[in-house]
Amino acid sequence: MKKKEHKECMSALLPVRDTLDIIGGKWKLLILISIWEGNKHFREIERSIPKLSTKVLSKELKDMEENQLIIRTVLNGFPVRTQYTPTEHSKTLKKVILELQNWGINHRKEIFGDTSEKDNSIRV
Amino acid sequence: MKKKEHKECMSALLPVRDTLDIIGGKWKLLILISIWEGNKHFREIERSIPKLSTKVLSKELKDMEENQLIIRTVLNGFPVRTQYTPTEHSKTLKKVILELQNWGINHRKEIFGDTSEKDNSIRV
DNA sequence: CCGCATCCGAGTGGATACTG
DNA sequence: CAGTATCCACTCGGATGCGG
């Protein structure tokens, strides 16, 4: 049996890592969902997610903007208001999230033998 | 329009978080794939993944065993040899990984407009 | 209201050496 | 071979305060 080429796997993993970087981490999904839900402004998003600090939120929003998951618009007026809205592209993530959710649910059954059924479909 | 219940989303996210915890992180997928490829022994796995230290590998393998992704068997003899083999359950992850990979590939196109096609399917 | 700067403690992970 | 132990550098993220 010939040794398989690990390098090829590594390169195949690059897109996987991209995706994990984008939705992984403690806050990214929570923030994204908050925006999907209709929260638009910085404070609004911050308040909707307990324990989230402004520093982290600020950084995450910047990342998400770079990844074209959200659009940032500064409204003129005073005091300044900023608006974050989800892109269509961001919505393609929902399928991925659903897949992760399903695997997680089955995994719990596998590990704990928990057969209780709850309606936990993602609602956005 | 009534305010949506963020709490429900949080509970729906729990299985998602489980999954991300299991395949997230710098090394987990690399190790899992290495074992899928047929690497069985501690040193073997370690050598197959550059820059991976014994401490981290040790910890990750323990996690993966707890999550029933791999089975650890100590072979009698001297010096001691240990064998790690993938479970059937672990293989259900392949579908998830493929989904992450596809999204990552499309994401790159979206961001960079890169239309180059490469055969990057995960091989295991 | 928006968001950056600073300080700071806890946890992560690398290198190395050592035991069974 | 299969790990554990120790030390240490570095990062991450929470708290707070300030400026636009």
Range in A105-109, A117-121, B78-82 the model is least confident about: A117-121
From residue A27, give the alpha-carbon distance in Å to each of A58, A91, A92, B122. Answer: 11, 17, 19, 28
Of A97, A124, A116, A105, the residue nearest A20 (C-alpha): A97
Protein-contacted positions of strand C (CB under 7 Å): 1-6, 13-17, 20
Tens digit of each residue's pLDDT (9 = 90 or more) over B90-108: 999 999 999 999 999 999 9
| Strand C contact at CB of residue A111, distance < 7 A | no
CA–CA separation, B16 vs A103, rounded Å? 8
Averaged pLDDT score across all residues of chain A: 88
Q: What's the pLDDT at A12?
A: 86
Tens digit of each residue's pLDDT (9 = 90 or more) over A53-77: 999 999 999 999 999 999 999 998 8
Which is more confidently placed, A98 or B5? A98
* B110 vs A14, A89, A120: nearest CB: A89
Q: What's the pLDDT at B113?
A: 78
Tens digit of each residue's pLDDT (9 = 90 or more) over B26-60: 999 999 999 999 999 999 999 999 999 999 999 99
What does the block give as tokens for A96? 């991925």
Protein-contacted positions of strand D (CB under 7 Å): 1-6, 13-17, 20
Of B16, B4, B8, the residue nearest A39 (C-alpha): B4
Question: Which domains are assigned to chain A?
Answer: 12-87 (1.10.10.10)
Averaged pLDDT score across all residues of chain B: 88
Q: What's the pLDDT at A112?
A: 86
Does A19 sit within 8 Å of B13, measured CB to CB? no
Per-residue pLDDT band for B77 (boundaries 50, 70, 90) equals: confident
Asked if the model's pLDDT at residue B1 lies above 50, the reply is: no
Which residues of chain B (89-118) touch nucleic strand D at CB < 7 A?
A: none
B17 touches chain A (CB under 8 A): yes
CA–CA separation, B90 vs B68, rounded Å? 7
| Strand C contact at CB of residue B80, distance < 7 A | yes
Amino acid at A91: K
Contact between A36 and B76 under an 8 Å Cβ cutoff? The reply is: no
Per-residue pLDDT band for A121 (boundaries 50, 70, 90) equals: low
Q: How many CA atoms lie within 13 A of A9 on its CB side?
A: 19
| Strand C contact at CB of residue B50, distance < 7 A | no
Which residues of chain A (25-84) touch nucleic strand C at CB < 7 A?
A: 41-44, 54-55, 58-59, 61-62, 72, 74, 79-82
Q: What's the pLDDT at A94?
A: 96
CA–CA separation, B52 vs B47, rounded Å? 8
Does A48 sit within 8 Å of B18, measured CB to CB? no
Reported pTM: 0.87
Residues 47-86 of A with CB under 8 A from B: 48-49, 67-68
Per-residue pLDDT band for A116 (boundaries 50, 70, 90) equals: low
Of B28, B45, B57, B124, the residue nearest B83 (C-alpha): B45
Which is more confidently placed, B69 or A113? B69
Amino acid at B32: L
